[in-house]
């Protein structure tokens, strides 16, 4: 059984004739995703400070948005969560995830830096990965300017953003001078090469389907490329040892639930301190939908509590 509020959302989408993403061009899908946030997301919370910055990147400037939690002094040195938004590497932006980032920032007491990485199909793999690695290194190098503690840098994201966070964490393992303290993985993509059983079992029109996954994957990683590369499929990395602690949050009625659970198990088997929590009756992408789904706000508070605990905010 789905959460009744999630079911009501799906029923409404069907009654309104909202087309599935794979029937839209990337440009149309981005516009629709941005517009629908006003319907499903809570009103943006006030924060102590917000600043839009640009980070020099391999393909040009990378926009980022920094948030300071409400009630903090401007001179306080804080831990930071670098956040990579979801959207299948094709849609989504720092604006579609603005309300969620404000919630996480205030509730965790951490500074938050949201990354507007390049999107496919205009910029296929490895553009998004390269941008996220670049921003992570830039944050570490500019810790003093940003008023953050370089020993308490976490990365996180939802869906495609969770995949990017997992891949960045693996990449930073080879850079001890830029060590990460924590990874927050929200219903992440972890294996684009092989479909897990839940991709077929949960293919019921619950917002994300196999057809929409094929749409996103095809734009980000053309079929001619090897999707077994760990930067694309973190689950297939040769080793998951020596990574920072992780919190993996899953949705039970999500095609990605099996590969998310597999990744949490892989981390645990490699000796990484990992917690995994599944909201069994929820759909993929529910976390920002706090205006319509009560459990979304519960899940946000849970993520924030874990961040506060692990980073000492």
- The pairing of strands 182-186 and 246-253 is parallel
Active site residue 284: yes
> Is residue 247 pLDDT above 80, yes or no?
yes
Active site residue 254: yes
Q: What is the mean pLDDT of residues 28-44?
A: 95
Active site residue 11: no
Give the structural domain span for 64: 4-311
- Distance (Å, whole) CA 182 – CA 132: 16
Q: Is the peptide bond before 121 cis (omega within 30 degrees of 0)?
A: yes
Q: What is the CATH number of the domain that holds 40?
A: 3.40.50.1820
Catalytic residue among 131, 149, 229, 254: 254
Catalytic residue among 140, 219, 240, 284: 284
- pLDDT score recorded for residue 86: 98
Query: How many Cα atoms within 13 Å fall on the side-chain side of residue 44?
Result: 16
Nearest alpha carbon to residue 112 among 75, 159, 79: 79
Bridge partner residues of 153 (DSSP): 80
Catalytic residue among 108, 159, 196, 212: 159
Average pLDDT, the chain: 96
Query: How many Cα atoms within 13 Å fall on the side-chain side of residue 287?
Result: 34
- pLDDT score recorded for residue 207: 86
pLDDT tens for 99-148 read 999 999 999 999 999 999 999 999 999 999 999 999 999 999 999 999 99
3-state secondary structure (DSSP) of residue 48 = coil
- Distance (Å, whole) CA 212 – CA 284: 12
- The pairing of strands 49-57 and 60-68 is antiparallel
Q: Is the peptide bond before 126 cis (omega within 30 degrees of 0)?
A: yes
User: What pLDDT band is residue 180 in, cutting at 50, 70 and 90?
Assistant: very high
Asked whether the beta carbons of 125 and 221 are under 8 A apart, the reply is yes
Number of domains forming the structure of the chain: 1
- The pairing of strands 111-115 and 60-68 is antiparallel
Q: What is the pTM of this model?
A: 0.97
């Amino acid at each position: 059984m789905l959460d009744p509020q999630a079911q009501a959302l799906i029923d409404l989408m069907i009654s309104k004739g909202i087309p599935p993403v794979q029937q839209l061009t990337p440009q149309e899908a981005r516009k629709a995703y941005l517009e629908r946030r006003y319907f499903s997301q809570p009103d943006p919370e006030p924060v102590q400070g917000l600043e839009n910055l640009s980070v020099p990147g391999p393909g040009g400037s990378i926009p980022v948005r920094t948030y300071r939690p409400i009630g903090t002094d401007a001179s306080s040195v804080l831990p930071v969560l670098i956040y990579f938004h979801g959207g299948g590497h094709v849609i989504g932006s720092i604006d579609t995830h603005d309300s969620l980032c404000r919630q996480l920032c205030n509730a965790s007491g951490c500074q938050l830096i949201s990354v507007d990485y390049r999107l496919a199909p205009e910029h296929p793999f490895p553009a998004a990965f390269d941008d996220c690695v670049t921003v992570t290194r830039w944050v570490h190098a500019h810790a003093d300017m940003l008023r953050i503690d370089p020993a308490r840098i976490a990365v996180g994201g939802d869906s495609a953003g969770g995949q990017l966070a997992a891949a960045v964490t693996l990449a930073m393992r080879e850079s001890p001078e830029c060590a990460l303290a924590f990874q927050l993985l929200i219903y992440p993509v972890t294996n684009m090469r092989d479909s897990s059983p839940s991709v077929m079992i949960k293919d019921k029109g619950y917002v994300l389907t196999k057809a929409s996954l094929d749409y996103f994957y095809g734009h980000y990683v053309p079929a001619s490329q090897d999707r077994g590369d760990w930067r694309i499929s973190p689950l297939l990395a040769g080793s998951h040892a020596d990574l920072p602690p992780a919190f993996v949050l899953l949705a039970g009625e999500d095609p990605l639930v099996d590969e998310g659970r597999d990744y949490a198990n892989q981390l645990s088997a490699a000796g990484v301190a990992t917690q995994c929590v599944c909201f069994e009756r929820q759909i993929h992408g529910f976390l920002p939908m706090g205006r319509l789904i009560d459990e979304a706000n519960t899940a946000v508070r849970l993520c924030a509590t874990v961040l506060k605990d692990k980073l000492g905010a």
